[in-house]
Amino acid sequence: MRAGSRTGNRGGAGRTAPARPAGADLPQPAGPPGVHDAAARAVRHLLDRQDPAGWWKGDLETNVTMDAEDLLLRQFLGIRDEATTAAAARHIRGGQRADGTWATFHDGPPDLSATVEAYVALRLAGDAPDAPHMARASAWIRAHGGIAAARVFTRIWLALFGWWSWDHLPELPPELVFLPPWVPLNIYDFGCWARQTIVPLTVVSALRPVRPGPFALDELHTDARRPVPPRTYAPLATWDGLFQRMDRALHLYRRFAPRPLRQAAMDAAARWIIERQENDGCWGGIQPPAVYSLIALHLLGYDLGHPVMRAGLDSLDRFAVWREDTAPGPDGLPAGPAPVRMVEACQSPVWDTCLAAIALADAGLPPDHPALVKAADWMLGEEITRTGDWAVRRPGLAPGGWAFEFHNDNYPDIDDTAEVVLALRRVAHPDPDRLDAAVDRAVTWTLGMQSGDGAWAAFDADNTSTLPNRLPFCDFGEVVDPPSADVTAHVVEMLAAEGRAHDPRTRRGITWLLDRQEPDGSWFGRWGTNYVYGTGSVLPALAAAGIPASHPAVRRAVAWLESVQNDDGGWGEDQRSYQDPRTWAGRGASTPSQTAWALMALLAAGERGSKAVERGIAHLVRTQLPDGTWDEPHFTGTGFPWDFSINYHLYRHVFPLTALGRYLYGDPFTPGTH
């Protein structure tokens, strides 16, 4: 969910980057024609998209499980309406492929769980199981193991309606909430996104509700008479075998758990959930914890009119993106224009706004431009000044920084904080003391969130236990938050821009980055796809910190980027590089955002004027649309590597503009580029 920039103030805190009138800093490059016009069109497009309040936000597209689970939630709570269902179904049908399946990213392989959930949602919408598009889906599901082979989260949703047995799901005892932070597998051993989901699910697991669905799903079992295959156990001497037996013991414990203890645990879980509800009614600014929290609280007696429930449901409505479009009807055939509803997994206004401000500044917009000042005002208003869950690992650390979303005061993230600081330093704000104070708090907090190995993660410090990922329950995505190269790079870049390049803590981060370079010269990208993203984050950071372009690590990275450039001059990388890096690292159809990341890295490494850079810039100019933006159907963002992919709809614009701006005007803080 994150991205790299090459910005900042190398001279120290409290100073604003100088304005760069077009063409004043650099001789005009003898590069592809039309670069200035392309940058000017992109600037106009981005300025036109700014909200009057000062922020930018692009749609955040994931996959149809978000839409399917939203309908299942509404069915479970008894609030599903036909208009919402029909609009969501049009979106779901629009993502089905010719073989009847759904993928989790553009042009990706079929995904069993996504296909099961989409199929069930369309059954709720009234699509007949013998309709051709439904028959293709159910046949594919049966051929690939049926419901029994779907991931745990999918089967939990089905268990809520009696389509799967709770007895055949991993046990999640609510007593987990009582474990202190020093005990293995306590809730703070999980990443913030996982703990926010697991706590309410412990309540759901304990109560095992069933509200019978309006139809059977026999057609999704390989054998409807024996839907659950015999369970096989890994050897006891292995971690998988140990946790499987632990799960069996927890199923036994369920039968004998003291009722007062269990009730106390569920009450504690409810308090934990309610205490973390955001001001807008959501939880953590993301959709999955919200849906499970609403189910858990409803099961504990909170009726739909309760303020907590009303606010939570209203917040979910704000995750819906409505549009008018042509989409398939219930028979799977094309229909006329009609309302289509897509549910975002979360919203990214802080992230989008800081990246947009950086892009505009890089493209030569003066630092006192009203759009930049308005953006800075809005970002300053989003600063988080209260303590959240991060303090469990860092007690006594003063709060500061920014989150990703409109409302998420419990979980600021280090990546957004680094990029917001870099963006703020590009603005000549009328109240510099206010800006400096916010930046100082953010720098102090970020330094305090450094993990013990010298690097930085996204949300927590030292969230590195490997045990949570081994639980039978955790078969979808990462549930811990270890440090990553992309986040560490953004922090190093920010600290260097604040005059802290020689701070021992910054140097530890640089050492960590150099030690984590892949043998081929790239870096792994945790929050973006993937090795292009990681490399595009690290090279600008190393340059900002004073690592010379002649350094061996930099030369290896440049050579790798040049080796994976596509024939059309762009760069791309498929999500499959997370599973199969040997085949897919740096390989995929060219995309605007990934081309821009590679260019930003090469420019930071002193490669302006090289053949690779000239070809990359020409690709961006050639593929720009008449309205000043670019088309990018491919997913270049990452929630969980491989398991949850993201298409940030503003990435296709802000990063190409940043690359064009740095090509034209260079970086005013790096010697030799202007």
108 by DSSP, 3-state: which? coil
Using alpha carbons, list the distances in angstroms from residue 251 to 206, 213, 228.
Answer: 10, 25, 17
Is residue 51 within 8 Å of 634, Cβ to Cβ?
no
Residue 60's φ and ψ, nearest 5 degrees, are: -115, 100
Helices (H), 95-172: 112-124, 132-143, 152-159
Location of structure tokens 């992309």? 486
Residues 6 or more apart from 566 whose CB is under 8 A from it? 572, 589, 590
Rounded to 5 degrees, what are φ and ψ at 66? -60, -45
The SS3 call for residue 285 is coil
Identify the residue whose tokens are 């549009």: 323
Instruction: Give, as one character, the DSSP assignment of residue 72.
Output: H
| Residue 578 structure tokens | 């997370």
Strand partners, 322: 341
Amino acid sitting at position 528:
G
Q: How far apart are CA 361 and CA 375, in angstroms?
A: 12
Report whether 421 contacts 379 (CB < 8 A). no
Is 471 in contact with 243 (CB distance < 8 Å)? yes
> Is-catalytic flag, 59?
no
Distance CA 405, CA 416 (A): 10
Distance separating alpha carbons of residues 478 and 466, to the nearest angstrom: 10
Around Cβ 397, how many Cβ atoms within 10 Å?
16
- Distance (Å) of CA 422 to CA 43, 293, 510: 19, 35, 18
Distance separating alpha carbons of residues 531 and 392, to the nearest angstrom: 32
Give the span between the Cα atoms of 173 and 171, in whole angstroms.
Answer: 6
DSSP single-letter state for residue 566: -
- The single residue of 70, 415, 460, 486 carrying the catalytic annotation is 415
3-state class (DSSP) for residue 151 = coil
Sequence-distant (≥ 6) Cβ neighbours of residue 305 within 8 angstroms: none
What does the alpha-carbon distance between residue 108 and residue 96 come to, in Å, rounded to a whole number? 12
CA distance 458 to 443: 15
Residue 389 — φ and ψ, nearest 5°? Answer: -60, -25
End-to-end Cα spacing for the chain: 31
Looking up tokens 């709770």, which residue turns up? 166
Active site residues: 415
